[in-house]
Amino acid sequence: MNAFIRKLGCYSPVSESDSALIGTLTENTRLVARRTDLVREGDSTNVVHIILEGFAVRYKIIGDGTRQIFGYLVPGDICDLHVALLAEMDHTVSTLSDCVVAEIRRPSILNIVAERPALTRALWWTMLVDEAVLREWITNIGARNAEIRIAHLLCEIHARLDAIGLVSEGIFSLPITQQELGDTVGLSIVQVNRSLKTIRERGLATFRKHLIDIPDIRRMQDFADFNENYLHLRSSPRSRSAR
């Protein structure tokens, strides 16, 4: 199964026929280089982009050039499902790493909505989770201190990657710079550096290039006041295989 099918399976059972359909719709892919805008604010598009491999972000830039990142896209995530109904993008999606991207044309998405109720429910669930994540990020920036903001974000990425089988013994990849991390949690590079040092000195995580090692995820979650219920990972393929 590709990452998109695994992701949908985290939210709702995917039948063999639905899985086959998604496999067919996502078999034509392209490689997008790192730090490339995949789709820009204001673009009118007739395709929905899906990240099959790699990492991307959602962001907006205000008048003085300041960038605010407000969403991370990991393998299996849909970049712009809403454009199947809306006229244009209201934000930009950019790759963090080299990405393998599939494109599904708008008529195919509309056909799924009309003819595949179980698959539609899974797609709808992904959109509702995106909204829940955004609410949590607002809370993170508005109510938590610097170290907790970063620790909470790392716990979230760990949970999302673990659900699709991309965490091994607490280690996962997250190819971001300290500047990009600051653009995410509303901190300067100095504050980010200081916060990462605190997390490292507490033994909560280590950082080696783009690899993050969280040796005790429960301890990290306690430190970050993290509860993954907002991710609504009710039927993770990993949790099913563990039973």
Cβ–Cβ under 8 Å, residues 11 and 232:
yes
Q: What is the pLDDT of residues 94-113, one digit of tens each?
A: 999 999 999 998 889 889 98
- Helices in 77-116 by DSSP H: which ranges? 106-115
Residues 6+ positions from 66 with CB-CB distance below 8 Å: none
Q: What is the pLDDT of residues 52-98, one digit of tens each?
A: 999 999 999 999 999 999 999 999 999 988 776 777 889 999 999 99
Q: Residue 49 pLDDT more than 70? A: yes
> 3-116 with 143-242: one CATH topology?
no
Cβ–Cβ under 8 Å, residues 205 and 174:
no
71 class by beta-carbon count within 10 Å (0-12 exposed, 13-18 middle, 19+ buried):
middle
pTM over 0.85: yes
- The CATH class, in words, for 143-242 is mainly alpha
| Sign, Cα dihedral of 229, 230, 233, 238 | negative
The CA distances from residue 66 to 35, 58, 161, in Å, are 17, 14, 28
What fold is seen in the domain 3-116?
Answer: Jelly Rolls (2.60.120)
Where does 33-95 show beta strands of DSSP type E? 37-39, 47-53, 56-61, 67-73, 92-95
The domain locations on the chain are 3-116, 143-242
Q: 234 pLDDT band (50/70/90 cuts)?
A: low
How many residues are given for the chain?
243
CA atoms within 13 A on the CB side of 135: 10
